[in-house]
Structure 1
Amino acid sequence: MNKFDVIVIGAGHNGLVTAAYLARAGKKVLVLEKRDLIGGATVTEEIIPGFKFSVFSYVVSLLRPEIIEELDLPSHGLQLLALDGTFTPLPDGNYLARWHDGERTRQELRRFSKKDADNYDRFGHHMNHMSRAVRELLMMRPPEPSSLKPSDLAGFNRLAKHFRGLGNRRFYDLVRLMTASAADYLDRWFETDVLKATM
């Protein structure tokens, strides 16, 4: 009978990255996956014969560059392709297209709402600020709340400094982003349901 130090359930990108780091640390790792495809939300599937869909592949953009480099993923076949646009079909035959080209996207959005076209870039700028605030938190080792060790107390100090550095307005926006529903948050910016659903 085989013995493993760690069993990872699910061969999505998070499970695979976890398994790779554990294996590099000398652990004997078994990865179990129910499906016949690995990669989880990052896979491209032929759902309709002749048509391939990136089911949730936008999440691969969240894969940290450090991980790609440390695990030398390109040498194992990872190839990231930039997405030029998205397409959201509607039941009435209409559609919403968004493009890498901001002016082209704003022109498309004007078919639905001038307000949404005007707010689109402001929202992108706002979310870039929010992502910078969150990115640092994601890479921090969280402090142990019940510990009084100097290293954990220093962790609380780093968190406090990070939040103080955001300023009141940005901190409030970050709390709202993390606690509001996606629908409520997007309602503050946009009026077109198809745009909110696409985002």
Structure 2
Amino acid sequence: MANKYDAIIIGGGHNGLVAAAYLARAGKKVVVLERRHIVGGAAVTEEIFPGYKFTEFSYVVSLLRPEIIRDLELPKHGLKILPLPSTFTPMENGDYLAAWDDHDLTRREIYRHSPKDAEAYDEYARVMARAAKAIKPIINLIPPDPSSMSPRDLMGLLKVGQYAAGLSEKELYMVAKLATQSSA
């Protein structure tokens, strides 16, 4: 007899696992299908060579909403969030690019490769900080329908607009780009 499920989640990445966990908590019979030997998607850290661990996007755990961490009691299941003091990106020519949690160190590292990019880094960091400040309060909102004239959607648009009101055109563009582009 075939198994019957209320929900089939295709992909065992972090988003698929969160969806499956919430559905299971709601009493649904759920199956997660993942093609790889490990689940977690971009949130996985793997040992690719003995003694060397690699992560794709685990360092952006700041995007994992705190209420999900609480709801699913993730620390009880092994979630440990560690500080990331630096990243290391090897280059084909044998050189590397290091980025630090210290703005000046990172700027000096960028300067090694491109003085022009190092000069732009200060502005980039400023724009990103302001964009993050605008995004943070609205990231959990259900997006309003911009074509709707319903009072609920109009109020939602006003709320979103309130956070974007202090942004420059360049910063608003960055927010829109970050919110709509692929992370891959």
Is this a same-fold pair by TM over 0.5? yes
Find the aligned partners of 1:60 and 1:176 in 2 and give their Cα distance.
Answer: 20
Q: Note closer, same or farther for the CA distance 1:25–1:149 as it changes in structure 2 (3 Å cut).
A: farther
The aligned residue for residue 143 of structure 1 is: 144
Q: How does 1:48-197 map to 2 (within 5 A)?
A: 48-144=49-145, 149-164=150-165, 166=167, 170-175=171-176
Residue by residue over 1:161-196, the C-alpha shift from the partner in whole angstroms, topping out at 9 and shown as x without a partner, is: 4444546564355346667999xxxxxxxxxxxxxx
**Contact map agreement 2:9 2:20 (CA 8 A) in 1:** yes
Alignment CA distance shift 1:114-1:168 (3 Å) = closer
Superposed displacement of residue 108, structure 1 = 2.1
Q: Structure 2 CA distance, aligned partners of 1:101 and 1:54?
A: 21
Aligned partner of residue 81 in structure 1, secondary structure:
coil
Structure 1 residues 24 and 100: CA distance shift in structure 2, 3 A: same
Partner of 2:11: 10
- The alpha-carbon deviation at position 149 of structure 1 amounts to 4.9
| Cα distance, 1:147–1:2 mapped onto 2, change above 3 Å | farther
Structure 1 residues not aligned, in runs of 5+: 183-199
1:96 deviates by: 1.6
Structure 1 range deviating more: 122-131 or 141-150: 141-150
Question: Hey, what's the Cα distance between the residues in 1 that align with 2:98 and 2:154?
Answer: 49
8 Å Cα contact 2:131-2:172 kept in structure 1: no
TM-score (normalizing by structure 1): 0.74
- Superposed CA RMSD: 3.0
**Residue 113 of structure 2: SS of its match in structure 1?**
coil
* Structure 1 letter corresponding to 2:29: K
Q: 1:144 to 1:98 in 2, by over 3 A?
A: closer
Counterpart secondary structure, 1:88: strand
Secondary structure in structure 1 of the residue aligned to 2:28: coil
How far apart, in 2, do the equivalents of 1:180 and 1:141 lie?
18
Which stretch of structure 1 is more off in the superposition, 146-155 or 3-12?
A: 146-155
Provide closer, same or farther for how the CA distance between residues 165 and 45 of structure 1 changes in structure 2, counting only shifts above 3 A: same
- Deviations along 1:16-68, whole A, 9 cap, x unmatched? 11111222223222212111101110111222344221133223332112211
What letter corresponds to residue 156 of structure 1 in structure 2?
L
| CA distance in 1: counterparts of 2:81 and 2:124, whole angstroms | 25
1:19 aligned partner = 20
SS in 1 for 2:89: strand
Give the match's secondary structure for 1:139: coil
TM-score by length of 2: 0.79
Percent identical residues = 53
Which amino acid letter does the alignment assign opposite residue 4 of structure 1?
Y
3-state secondary structure, aligned to 1:17: helix
CA contact (8 A) 1:45 1:55 kept: no
Change (3 A) 1:4 1:147: farther
Between 1:61-70 and 1:130-139, the stretch displaced more is 130-139
